[in-house]
Structure 1
Amino acid sequence: MWRSISNAPSDRELELAVIDKDGTHSLVFPCVRVVGGWKNARTMERIDIHPTHWREWPHPTGRQQDID
């Protein structure tokens, strides 16, 4: 279930949705919320996005990975 971006947590990997001129899209990589924005959870590089919704990133192992 998608949730409003206003209450996205910063302690876990998230799947993000963005809306652009072509419609609504979910990102194909997990993201983590950081002060002032977002990072790609795999590379930890800051990304310039303005997501509208989030949901838990699905993990095949069924557990969350550590984010430092």
Structure 2
Amino acid sequence: MWRLPVEAPFELDIELAVIDDDGVHSLVFPCQRRPGGWINAMTGEVLDVHPTHWRVWQIYRCVVSDLQ
């Protein structure tokens, strides 16, 4: 179930949906909410994103996407 960005927990891997030049889509890597914004949970890179919603990250989504 997707939830509002303001409800996202801090320091937990989540799947984040964002708005960018391509429209609304979910990012293909886990993200974490931090007090200063959002980071890529795999690299620690600070993200310049405008999240629309989120859900708990589930590793199988990545694996299934890679197989298609």
Q: What range describes the TM-score normalised by the shorter chain of this pair?
A: 0.7 to 0.9
Q: Which has the higher helix share?
A: 2
Displacement of 1:11 after TM fit?
Answer: 2.9
> What does residue 54 of structure 1 align with?
54
Flag structure 2 segments of 5+ consecutive residues without an equivalent. 61-68
Paired residues, number: 60
Alpha-carbon deviation of 1:35? 1.4
How far has the Cα of 1:23 moved from its partner? 2.9
SS at 1:52's partner residue? strand
Output the amino acid matched with 2:5. Answer: I
Paired residue for 1:5? 5
Deviation, 1:24, is 1.6
Equivalent position amino acid for 2:42 in 1: R
Following TM superposition, where does structure 1 have runs of at least 4 consecutive aligned residues deviating by more than 2 angstroms?
A: 19-23
TM-score, normalising length from structure 1?
A: 0.78
Question: Structure 1 residues 21 and 36 mapped into 2: Cα distance closer, same or farther (>3 Å)?
Answer: same
TM-score by length of 2: 0.78
2:45 and 2:10 map into 1 onto residues whose CA distance is: 15
Unpaired runs of at least 5, structure 1: 61-68
Describe how 1:12-31 pairs up with structure 2 within 5 A. Answer: 12-20=12-20, 22-31=22-31
Q: Secondary structure at the match of 1:9?
A: coil
- Structure 2 CA distance for aligned equivalents of residues 32 and 51 of structure 1: 12
